[in-house]
Amino acid sequence: MDFAKMGQNLLSSATGNIAKAILVIRKIDVEEGERETTIDQVAVKDIKGSIDELAGPAGRPGGINGDLMKLAQKTLDNGKVASFSDIKSKLQNKHFIALELQYNPTSVRLDTTAGRQMAYSGGAGATQVQQYTAPASTTLSCELLFDDFNNMDAFMTSDNPLTGMTASNIKNAVTSAARGDYSVQRQMEGLLSLLSVPSARHVIFYWGALCFRGEMTEVTTRYTMFNKKGFPIRGTANIQIRQGDGSPDATDPDRAYRYDDSYWDASFKKTFTDQGPGASVFDQVTNNSFLNLKL
């Protein structure tokens, strides 16, 4: 039993210093002389450079995604989770920023489609079947929780924003007090706005040993609690990030959406290919058992 690791986990739980999921998004700067320019016009100016930073040069893995992949692999190999500072250091002087989520998602779903697909249409007795071949595409889905709850703000008549603070909400309370009100509307609408700027849809979802790059294609928000002023103070956001359907052309910004072939090819080879010369007798015996994959 690894008592050192157990002690570290207990300390992290007690202090709240646990690994948080991180969303890496585009950083769009508007210069002083660009006040009359739309955000999207500013973003398009440096689209190629930012895509090189994100996914690496066309045809070669690398970039920010490659760096974060390496950190995720270290976590998978030895259990040492990268810190938020480690992630931010990979983004220094880049066109991207890291946003630490308030709460980790309770589940993450990955759906992959590829190959021959069948589409059916028409009514009874006149069914039409269309067949097409779809490129490999994987979609990550998860639900994010937003909370800016304070007992006195939500239920009492007092407008004192510092009343009823606890250790768990002190950070949110200070931030909300500085703004003057409790609300999750600003954060949740900001997440929705990513879909309004095409070049801002290139994102990376990072959590522990999971690193997934793609295009944010859907955000669904739901406010679940309001304070006495009618401000939303709690809500959920379901996000979908799709990887695939991108162009390999170095001059095409859509190559940022391309499938991460190198990662998935490596996963396939590591799991399903023959052991090869020099493998132990145990590995040779268990290699053909689905319960004993080479993980």
Give the model confidence (pLDDT) of 145-197 as tens digits: 998 877 666 665 545 555 545 444 555 555 555 555 788 899 899 899 888 88
Tally of CA atoms within 13 A in the half-sphere of 110 that contains its CB = 12
- Residues 193, 111, 256: CA angle, nearest 5 degrees: 50
Could you tell me the CA-to-CA distances from 279 to 20, 88, 142, 157 in Å, in that order?
38, 40, 39, 71
Question: What would the pLDDT profile of 22-55 be if each residue is shown by its tens digit?
Answer: 999 988 766 555 556 676 666 666 677 777 888 7
**pLDDT tens sequence across 213-232:** 998 999 999 999 888 888 88
Regarding predicted confidence, which is higher, 31 or 203? 203
- State the number of CA atoms in the 13 A half-sphere of 217 facing the CB: 15
For residue 163, give the DSSP letter.
T
| Spatial separation of the C-alpha atoms in residues 189 and 184, rounded to whole Å | 9
Mean predicted lDDT score pLDDT of the chain: 76
Dihedral angle over CA of 242, 245, 249, 255, nearest 10: -10
